[in-house]
Every structure is written in C-alpha cells, then in structure tokens.
Structure 1
Amino acid sequence: MARVASGFESSPSGPADHHLSLPLDHHDKKNPFNLHDDDERECRTGNVWTATAHVITAVIGSGVLSLAWSIAQLGWIAGPPILLAFAFVTYYTSILLADCYRAPDPTTGSRNYTYMDAVRAYLGGKRTTTWICGFVQYVNLIGTAIGYTITASISMVAIKRSNCFHVEGNDAPCHVSNNLYMALFGAFQLFLSMIPNFQRLWWLSIVAAIMSFAYSSIGLALSVGKTIERRVVSGTAFGYVASSSIEKTWLVFQALGNIAFAYSFSMILIEIQDTLRAPPTENKTMKKASLRGIIVTTSYYMSVGCVGYAALGNQAPGDLLTGFGFHNPYWLIDIGNICIAVHLIGAYQVFCQPLFAFVEAWAVQKWPKSDLINHEYKIFLPFSKPFKINLFNVLWRATFVVFTTIVAMLLPFFNDIVGLLGALAFWPLTVYYPISMHIAQHHLKKWTGKWIALQGLNVGCFLVSFAAGLGSIAGIVGDLKKYAPFKMD
C-alpha cells in the first residue's frame, strides 16, 4: 500500500521507522546532526525537569484530596507518620528501580524500554515472573484510566452542583448525571491519545503538574480558612470512632489503600526514564527527578491531608472539593474542580502511553508485514509540517478510550476497584520487583545484613498491601449493595 488519496502519503513505520539508517553514535550536544541515541532510536530529549513533571503528574492525582479522610481514619498519632513512611519506601525503591533501566550495568548496559523489559533482563530465568509483572502493571494502568474518567466527571459534576447549592441552598438535592461528563472526558482523550509517544507528552505533564498544585493549594487554603474561622484544631488522636472494631479495621485498611495508591508511580518509572537524554547517565537524572517529585508531593500530601483534617476533623469527606466539605466561596471551589479535571486529562495520558506503546510494539512484532500496522500516512496540513498517523495506532487507541469510557459509565463506583488494584500493585511493582532486581544486580547473598533488611521491607509492605486490599474489597461489597447502572448522583 504505497499511496492513498491525495493529501496523504504512506511510509513504513514499526521498528525501522524510529531511526535513520545512518550509523550515528550516542547523542552528543556538540554534533547537531547526531539524531539518534546509542540504540539507534530517536534522540531522547527529556531532562530532570520533564521527568519531575511526569512524576508529579503521576503521583499527585486527585487522591491528594482524599488524604484528609485517610488521616481521619488513622488519627493524629498514626496518620502523618504513615504518610511519611510510604514516601520513604517509594523513594528508596524508586532509586533501586532507576538502576535497572540498563542491564547488566546500570550506566553502560543495554536499555530496558519498559518495566517488563527490566524484569526480564534481571529475573529472566523466571518467565512466569515477567508475565505476572506485565499483567499487574497493565491491568493497573487500565484500571487507573477508568478511575480517572470517573473522578474527572465527579469534579465536573461538582461544579454544576456547587452552583446549584449556591442558588438553591446547601440542602437542595441538586442531582446531576455523570454520564455526559464522562463522555466529554472521553472525547478529550480521543484527541490527546493521538500524541505518538511518551517523549512528546512533556508539555501536557507540565500543565497537569501546575493544575495539581493549583487545586491542592485551593484545598489547603480552604482548610486553613476554616481552621482560622473555628479557632480550633479538629481531629482526635486515634481518628474516626466507628460503631464497631470490625468497621474501624476496614476503614483503617481502606485508608492504607488510599495512601498506597496515592504514591504509586513505579509502574511507569522505567518508561519515564526512557525519555531522558544522556549525559548525565539516565539513572542519575531519574534519581534526582524521583527525589524532587517525592519531596514536592509529600509536602503537599502532608499539608493538604493534615490541614484538611484539622479543619474538618473526623467528618472529613472522601474528597475535600467534590465531597462538599466546603460550600463557599463557591467560585473558588469551581476553579479547584476545573483544575482537577484538567490535571486528570494529562494524568490519563501519562498512565496510558506505556500501555499504548506496549500493544503497538507487540503488534509490530506479531505482524511485521502488515500494511495496517507497519505503515504511516502523512497528512499535509496548510502552514505546518506533515502530520504522520498510523491507522492501527489510531484504531487501537480510539477503541481503548471508548472502552474505558463505557466501563466508567457502567461502574460509577469503580474507584473502589481501582483502590483494590492500587493495593495489589503497590507491593509487587513498588517493592517486590525493585528489591528482587537489586538483589540480582548486586548478587547479594542470602542472610547477609542487607539481604535481611530488604526482605524485611518486602514482607512488611506485602502485609500492608494485603490489608489495604481487604479494605478495598469491603468497600466494593458495600457499593454493590446499592449499585445501579447509570445511577444519578
């Protein structure tokens, strides 16, 4: 299929399309004609700032606004320390994972383009281990995409309801359906999903990161204002007093799941690292980006979570802005919810681009001679460079967006399922695999001091993830009792 209608021109894509046939060396700033890296792929252009933006976009989801509720379940004694503990574990294991981008040497070895590639390189003797890693990673990415569709629609509905409350009073029913707003969100994603790869996504991550700071700051400002107005710090040492010890246990477990999911970005760390230029070496840049990202996000988590709890106490809602812990000033709440929706538009792409790339690379490998999969078409637009599209990529990405939108409409409580997926993914992707690959990389012997410490961290995080998973299951069971498809809020 060499030519199509006027205005389009086809060209081969797939692996061969990612580089010229020129035998060029590693990217060198002094050589403007050096267009490719040491693996003959298009030169990476990412730096510590773009990587930090990706990390912040991935970590600071709308979940930051649920942290006041999480701390309300844990109380002042346990809540803040647990937040800090998750931050430390996430940062430490991200350092270990950053060294796995290349193998066998972390600075000069062959590149691993995805998390699965890294697991295969270091733990390749166990094929099942690699496939379990891929299954957990990509199922979690799909779940996150569905959850973000729901959460963004909730924020858009909250704007409508906020204005309704302002006009008709805080006790007015103000029922609004989420479905229209889910469809709107899906329409945006249909357009943005045509961004070809993660490296071209840097500008969207920066916008999304700015939005996350904006709505987090609004939540913080509203909490500070309410605390000053009341002139008292709310909350108790042990948090919300449940009707029974069993209920309290489930709520604590759910809070752990929320916090674990709030810190999850390891599943796309390798993919972020694959956007970085060198020198300096990619692992050094990624470690700096991880440190900056975790410091920024933890500062926001601590301030928004703790101040939100201080303002609203044990009755803190699941979301400071959409849960209507605050009703006024309504225009500021509206701005906050707009920022949440814009942020999630970008975050959706940050999490979906690795999945898009995985399926497209698999298709190229499976059908190397297919014109549908291995040809790109140039669309000549006036006053701009030709725009390249691949029909398979367009069809697959559009199908995925439509699928996630429909599932979100059918299961409006899917956030609880995403919480379960997050709880299940935290231990293997954030802890187990980075630790196992580090042990293999450095040939650590069993029962040495460091090996024991790493395995202790491994077991401890497994127990936390297991407990969080149980709490999420309890939440899902409760949702199913009142579930109705396309229910009005």
Structure 2
Amino acid sequence: MASTTTASSLQINNDLAQKNLDDDGREKRTGTWVTASAHIITAVIGSGVLSLAWAIAQLGWIAGPAVLMTFSCITYFTSTLLADAYRAPDPVSGKRNYTYMDVVRASLGGRKVQLCGIAQYVNLVGITIGYTITASISIVAVKKSNCFHDHGHGADCKPSNYPYMILFAVIEILLSQIPNFHKLSWLSILAAVMSFAYSLIGLGLSIAKAVGDGHDAKTALTGAEVGPLLSSSEKVWKTFQAVGDIAFAYAYSTVLIEIQDTLKSYPPENKMMKRASLIGVSTTTLFYMLCGLIGYAAFGNDAPGNFLTGFGFYEPFWLIDFANICIAIHLIGAYQVFCQPIFGFVEKKCREKWPESKFIMTDHTINVPFCGEYYFNMFRLVWRTTYVTITTLIAMIFPFFNSFLGLIGAGSFYPLTVYFPIEMYIARAKIPKFSFTWVSLKILSWTCLVVSLVAAIGSVQGLVTDLKKYQPFKTE
C-alpha cells in the first residue's frame, strides 16, 4: 500500500513538473503579445525619437516622411520573416532557437553564424553605450532647465555629464543582476509607459511652439538650406547622418528572437510575434511621424539634435524636467533589454567551457525582504559589473549624441534587420535563384546595403568633426 501511495505521489509530482515546463524542458513561458509589444516599444521608442526633428530638418518635408515610412515598412516586413525563423524547420512545431545566432545557425549555418554574432553583439554594445550617453544628457538637462529658470535663458549653465553617467552605471549594475530576459517584463512595461510620456510631452510642447505667437521657424521642402552657415558638403554629410539616425530609431531586430522566446506556446509564437511587431512598429511610426514633423515645424531648419535637451523649450521648466526624468527611467529599462542577450551569451559560453568552476556555476540563495528568494552568482556579479563599467567609460570618451546614434543605426540596420532575415527566408522557402521573388528580395537587400554604407560614412564624418571640437576637460 505504501509503495503504491509513493508511486502515485511521484506520478503526481512528475505531472505537476511537466505542467510547469515547456516542450524544450525549460520553465513554462508566460509572455503574451501584450508583453512582447511592451518589449518592442521599449526597444524601439528610445533615444531615437529625440533626434527625429533634427533628422527631418536635414531631409525636409518630402524626403523626411518618405524615409521614415520606408524604414518602418522594411522593419515590419523583415520582422515577420524573422518571427517565422524562431522555430525550425517548421515555424509552429519545429525546434526552438533561443538567440539570433541560433536562428542563423539553424537556417544558414557556416561562417554566417559568426558574422551574425559579430554584427549583433557589436550593435548591442553600441546601443548600450548610446543609451548611457543619452540618459546622462537627459539628467543634465534637468539641472540646466532649473538653472535657466532661476538665472535666465542666457545664463552659463554647463554641468558635466560625467557624474550622471556614473550614477546611471551604478543603477545598471544593480539591475544587471536580474538573472534573465524572462524577469524583465515589469521593467519593460514601466519603460514603455515612460517612452509614451516623454514622446507626448515633446509632441505637446512642439505643437504649442509651432502655433504660438511669434513663431518664425523657417522650413523647406528639402530641409536645411545651403548658405553661409551650411556648406554643400556639410549638407550632404548631415543628410547621410540623418538617415543613420532614422535607421537607429527602428533598431530592435537584434533582440526580436529573445523577445519571442518569452512567449507562451499557444497561440503559436510566430503569430503572436507578428501581431506584436505590427502593434509595436505601427505605434512607434505614428509617434515618430508626429514628433519628427511637428518638431520640424516648431524648430525649422535650426532643430536641435535632441529636441528635449537641446533647449528649444525652456518653459514650463517643470514639464521639461519631468520629460527628461521619463527619458532617463525609460533608458534604464531599455539598457537592460539590449544588454541581457550579451549577458546570456557570455555566461552560456563560460558555463560550457568551465562546467566544474564553482565561481561560475554556483548560485547562492539570498532572502530579500518583501521579494522572496534571490539567486546570487559571483561570476554574474563580476562580469556584468565589468561590462557596465567598460561601456560607461567608452560613453565618457565619445559623448556625441547624433553621430553615435547614426553610426549604430547604420551598422545594425543592414545586417540584422535586412540581410539575415531575407537570406534565411530564401533558404527556408527554397526560393529558386533568379526567380521574381528572389530578384525582388535581393534588390531590397542591396539597396539597404547602399543606404547603410552612406549613413555610416556620414556618421563617421560627424564623429570626426565632433572629436575635433571636443574638449574633454571642460564641462559641457
């Protein structure tokens, strides 16, 4: 009787364990299209939205909206191709792939896996550096706003960015101890709310400025005009850089697979991810159009590089402060969304190489008041702290907002948003060479390559110009 009871108990425990596991033996995923949309909005509506008024000012009323819509459509199209690659060979019942590199390995293999890894992780590192720069600029803008309010708009208010980069780094070191992507939903939802908040504030202030008394901002169909303050070569370079800034504003393909890996199995993950991508990209495009076009209408050809920290607005100072605080909170969350794949990749490789290392493998349980048990790992603490520290140091060396964003956007858009999704689709669908579909996809891919190269050249030139002007030992 006892043995029968024991066997029944074991069977019940096994059944319960199976119910808490997915088909790959991992803890059951609970994500939905709502949480995936929040992750996407967190990843997409980031610091990119702040530079769009400047980008539109370089491109003008015709090319600006056209470039925005083109990037939007391409991003959504390729994200649907990428969503189908999460499981292979079948997009619904095939084997799961947990990272972008795993997807490329399953669909393409060979050296393209290494090329994908280089492109993805260099881009992720670049984004985290860019977010460190942007967050510090936003925090400094709060101090500047209060200084201008107290001492007048002509006051010499130039606090240093460095202390705030360090403060941002300390916060990220703490948050980086969150074990993995699956524990980040609350942070992404908070960050998404913040991104809506500061985008709406910026939009509202732009509308008020555009329709206000004494508004005399000059705009043009072709954007900033060549003249005494802008040479023809500078116009070309800034146009290229503006394309890179817009490309950066749509960068989320690097974490799409990691986001999809948080989704529960039914409805099928690819269908939920496509729905989330449509909602995320549509929502962000609407915000981008409004912020970019109305921002350009408000500031004209003299639009600042960052329309909430460039002080096209001075009052109401408290609202500008609140918007910049929202930016900082959003970027705190977005930083984690983009760096978690890096953390996971390095930690997985280290566990595989040194499986006997107690330093790497041992988790220590800590009881955190009001939060329950927390699993603490020494290797995770040391490695993630080191990563945040290094990216912060690089941000201190290159604190240039527009040029850095343009370079990251140019470097990530073609390989990760366009090339690999298209190549994987061609391979999986076995599309014949030189067929209409094959030629159409290749033309799209090659065109995007040219656009990315042009944007990269413009951004590098902008960085070189910024470095020549930069005086690191003076406050900004």
- Range into which the TM-score falls when normalised by the shorter chain: over 0.9
What amino acid is the match of 1:357?
Answer: G
Q: Distance in 2 between matches of 1:415 and 1:235?
A: 20
In structure 2, which of residues 214, 222, 225 is the aligned counterpart of residue 241 of structure 1?
Answer: 225
1:64-90 Cα distance to aligned partner (Å, 9 max, x none): 021011001011011111101100000
1:366-407 Cα distance to aligned partner (Å, 9 max, x none): 111111111111113456532211111111111111111222
What amino acid is the match of 1:47?
Answer: T
In structure 2, which of residues 453, 456, 472 is the aligned counterpart of residue 466 of structure 1?
Answer: 453
What amino acid is the match of 2:180?
Answer: N
Q: Distance in 2 between matches of 1:143 and 1:384?
A: 33
Structure 2 vs 1, CA of residues 112 and 486 (structure 1 numbering), >3 Å: closer, same or farther?
Answer: farther
What amino acid is the match of 2:197?
Answer: A
- Structure 2 counterpart SS, 1:380: strand
Q: Distance in 2 between matches of 1:477 and 1:411?
A: 10
Map 1:32-431 onto structure 2 (within 5 A). Answer: 34-124=19-109, 126=110, 128-230=111-213, 234-242=218-226, 243-382=230-369, 385-413=372-400, 416-431=403-418
What amino acid is the match of 2:450?
Answer: L
What amino acid is the match of 1:101?
Answer: Y
RMSD over aligned CA atoms reads 1.8
- Structure 1 counterpart SS, 2:363: strand
- Structure 1 counterpart SS, 2:19: coil
| Unmatched segments (≥5 aa) in structure 2 | 1-10
TM-score normalised by the chain length of structure 1:
0.91
CA contact (8 A) 1:411 1:485 kept: no
What amino acid is the match of 1:368?
Answer: P
CA contact (8 A) 1:234 1:311 kept: no
1:81-108 Cα distance to aligned partner (Å, 9 max, x none): 1101100000000000000101111111
How far off is 1:354 after superposition?
0.7
- Structure 2 counterpart SS, 1:399: helix
1:286-321 Cα distance to aligned partner (Å, 9 max, x none): 000000000100000000110111111111111111
CA contact (8 A) 2:217 2:301 kept: no
CA contact (8 A) 2:145 2:314 kept: yes
Q: Distance in 1 between matches of 2:402 and 2:475?
A: 17
2:6 matched to which residue of 1? none
| Unmatched segments (≥5 aa) in structure 1 | 1-20, 26-30
1:18 matched to which residue of 2? none
Moved more, 243-252 or 428-437: 243-252
Moved more, 227-236 or 184-193: 227-236
- Structure 2 counterpart SS, 1:378: strand
How far off is 1:411 after superposition?
2.5
- Structure 2 counterpart SS, 1:276: coil
How far off is 1:427 after superposition?
0.3
Q: Distance in 2 between matches of 1:193 and 1:279?
A: 30
How far off is 1:423 after superposition?
0.4
- Structure 1 counterpart SS, 2:212: helix
Structure 2 vs 1, CA of residues 383 and 323 (structure 1 numbering), >3 Å: closer, same or farther?
Answer: closer
1:5 matched to which residue of 2? none
In structure 2, which of residues 462, 467, 474 is the aligned counterpart of residue 475 of structure 1?
Answer: 462
Q: Distance in 2 between matches of 1:461 and 1:332?
A: 39
How far off is 1:425 after superposition?
1.3
How far off is 1:232 after superposition?
7.1
How far off is 1:245 after superposition?
2.3
- Structure 2 counterpart SS, 1:195: coil
TM-score normalised by the chain length of structure 2:
0.94
Q: Distance in 2 between matches of 1:475 and 1:195?
A: 36
CA contact (8 A) 1:137 1:425 kept: yes
What amino acid is the match of 1:89?
Answer: I
Q: Distance in 1 between matches of 2:13 and 2:474?
A: 59
- Structure 2 counterpart SS, 1:386: strand
